[in-house]
Structure formats: structure tokens, C-alpha cells
Amino acid sequence: MRNVKIALAVLALGFAVAGLAGAASTATQSLTMQVGTIGVISTTGNPSTLTVAAPASGGATPTSGTSTTTYAQYTSTVPSGQTRKITVAWGASDAAPAGCALRLTATPNGGTNQGASAGTVTMSSTAQDLVTTIKSCATGTGSTSGAQLSYSLDVTDATALVAAATKTATVTLTLTDAA
Amino acid sequence: MRSPKAAPAALACLLLLLAGEIRSATTAVSATVASFCVMAVTSSAVSLTVSNPAAPGGVPSNPVGSSSYAQYSSTVASGVTRRITAAWATGNTAPTGCSLLLQASVPSGYGTSAGQITVSTTAQNLVTGIGGCATGTGSTSGAQLVYTLSIGAMTSLVANESKSATITLTLTDS
């Protein structure tokens, strides 16, 4: 009889242990999260035709043709301590009309990490800084988001102007790591 | 000629036989369903990478990983339910500017999703109301685990930053 009682006690203990063991179960997953290197840029379109026009008064230098309707939009992620910049150049055979120079100024909209204007550049086939100190940012994609591009076709030598002369150029903006 | 002493002996045997036929025995059969809960996940590794946006100037979309499933079997006592909680290990963090979100998509009969949680070191409910069930063990059986790396601050992102974390799912009594 004593043996029976011991057996029952052991059996009861076994069920109790089984119940406790079933109270919780865990599973684990390993997760890797990474931020990729991102550097993409586009423009909202082409500027309107830049036309040198008659001055307000006779004897004055003809007025510059300007366009401020386009924007450079960009998304960037940079490693710690690194910045990017936007450079600009036109094709090797591109040129402004005789007696003129094409100038460009980019004005970032002031958003965090969207960079600072490098001032006005006179276009050439050599890449020049247009916007500097760009860090991780996204300018937005609205019609007026990003860095405003202000083109100006300025008269540098009125005596060299040729009426009705037209030139078409391809301007390339490049978002690249700062040196 | 039968011996006169043989009659009482035969009678005794007959009585014993009759007594044996009416003898009965009982045994108690006990059937018990143990209370248990076991859980596993179909894939131990999930990778989430922030990559190029759809258009320059746009914020990259939040990377999503939804290829893993929590599979579980559970028996519960009457009136009792279980839940699945999720947490990551102490020291785990998302990349700078990001947070990790997790939501379970639960088929009918296997509990109820507690909605999307922001993963932290504190265990939070992921699935509740789990009764007796077995989700199955197929590659897409069980509660689908949808991980989202949410970009909270684009300007805080650090290119090439990588973080590893260990997520623990726990199936436990509510």
C-alpha cells in the first residue's frame, strides 16, 4: 500500500511538472537592419529659352535672359563625417552665343542637410561646385522642392553679339562625394 | 460404478466454477490532455535595407520583411487564453533615425493581432486571445510576421550603418 502511495505521488508530481513546462514557449529571430548608401538627383525639367533682349534704354547693355523655374531634387545618405556636393558642367562642345556667358546659381531651400550654395558659376566643360556640404537628406519632390536653379545668359561683350544666334547646351548636375 | 466420494468433489468444483463466472474486477482509466504551448518561427533571419527612393528628392520607402511565420500549438484550460509577446535583447537598437515595427497577421482561429508595435526591450503583446489550436507547419502557416524598418528622421540616417538584433517571441499565458 505504501508503494502505491509513492507511485501516485510520483505520478502527480510528473503531471505538475508537465503543466509548468507548458506555460511558456519562446522562439527567436535574428534581424539585420542596414541603411544603404543613397545618392540620387534629378531636375524638375528644362529651363525656358534664355534670350538676350533689348535694354530699357538705348545705349545700355542688352538685358540678360534668365530662368528660375527649375529645381534640383536629391536624396542622399552619407556615412558619418562625410558630405556630398553637386557639381555642374556642360558638354565639351557646348558654348554660349558669341559675346555671352551662361551663369548658374543654385539656392537650396534651407532644409536640414540640404547643403549650401557655392555661389554663381560660369558654365564650362569643367565640373564646378554648385552646392556643397550635403549630408543625409531628401529635398522633396514637389514642383518647387529642392535647390532652385537660376540660369542667366549674360552679355559679356556687346560688340560680339550676333542677332538670332542660337545655341543649345546640355548641362549636367552631378551629386558626388566631397573630396 | 462411481465412487460415492466423487459426488461431493464434483459439486465443489462446480461451485468454484460458478463462483468464478460471477467474479468481477474494475479498473480506473484516466485520460488527460496536458496543458502545453510550443512555438517556432519559419525563418531565423530577416534582413531590412533602406535603399533608393522611387524618385530623387523623395524619402526612401520603409523596407518590409514579411517572409517569416510564427507557428504554435497550444492547449489551454477552460476560460484561459494565451498571447505572444515580442521584445528584442538589451542593447539592440535600430539604425540611427529608424525604428523597427512589427505586426503579426493572424489567420482566423489562432488568436487576434494586437496591432503594430515598436519593438523595444520591453515585451509587448503581438497576438492575444490564443486558445487551443495548432497553426500548422507549412511554409506559410501560422501568424505572418511583418517587420518594417520605419524611417523617422531622414536627416539622421547614416549610410552603411548596420545593426543586428535578436527578436524573442514568447507564447505565454495571458
- Residue A11 in this model has a pLDDT that exceeds 60: no
Domain assignment present for A16: no
Look up residue B123 and give its three cell numbers: 515585451
Q: Which of A24, A29, A73 sits opposite B171 (nearest CB)?
A: A24
Cα end-to-end distance, chain A, whole Å:
91
Domain assignment present for A24: no
Burial tier of B73 (Cβ tally within 10 Å: 0-12, 13-18, 19+): middle
What's the pLDDT tens digit per position in B44-90?
789 999 999 999 999 999 999 999 999 999 999 999 999 999 999 99
- Residue A14 in this model has a pLDDT that exceeds 80: no
- Residue A95 in this model has a pLDDT that exceeds 90: yes
Domain assignment present for A148: yes
Domain assignment present for A159: yes
pTM: 0.83
CB-CB under 8 Å, B147 with A27: no
- Residue A92 in this model has a pLDDT that exceeds 80: yes
What's the pLDDT tens digit per position in A100-148?
999 999 999 999 999 999 999 999 999 999 999 999 999 999 999 999 9
**What is the domain-level CATH number for residue A64?**
2.60.40
Domain assignment present for A147: yes
The alpha-helical segments, DSSP class H, found in chain B are 6-21
Tell me the average pLDDT across A52-58: 95
The chain B residue lying nearest A24, using CA atoms, is: B172
The Cα diameter of chain B in Å comes to: 124
Number of domains, chain A: 1
CB-CB under 8 Å, B57 with A140: yes
State the ipTM, two decimals: 0.82
- Say whether residue B136 is in contact with chain A using an 8 A CB cutoff: no
pLDDT for position B26: 84
What's the pLDDT tens digit per position in A73-88?
999 999 999 999 999 9
Domain assignment present for A90: yes
Report the distance separating Cα B151 and Cα B173, nearest Å: 34
How many Å lie between the alpha carbon of B170 and the closest alpha carbon of chain A?
4
Phi, psi of B143 (to 5 degrees): -90, 120
Q: Which of A24, A136, A146 sits opposite B172 (nearest CB)?
A: A24
Domain assignment present for A57: yes
Domain assignment present for A23: no
Domain extent for A85: 39-177
pLDDT for position B36: 85
Number of A/B CB contacts below 8 angstroms equals 189
In this prediction, the residues of chain B whose per-residue pLDDT falls under 70 are 1-23
CB-CB under 8 Å, B165 with A30: yes
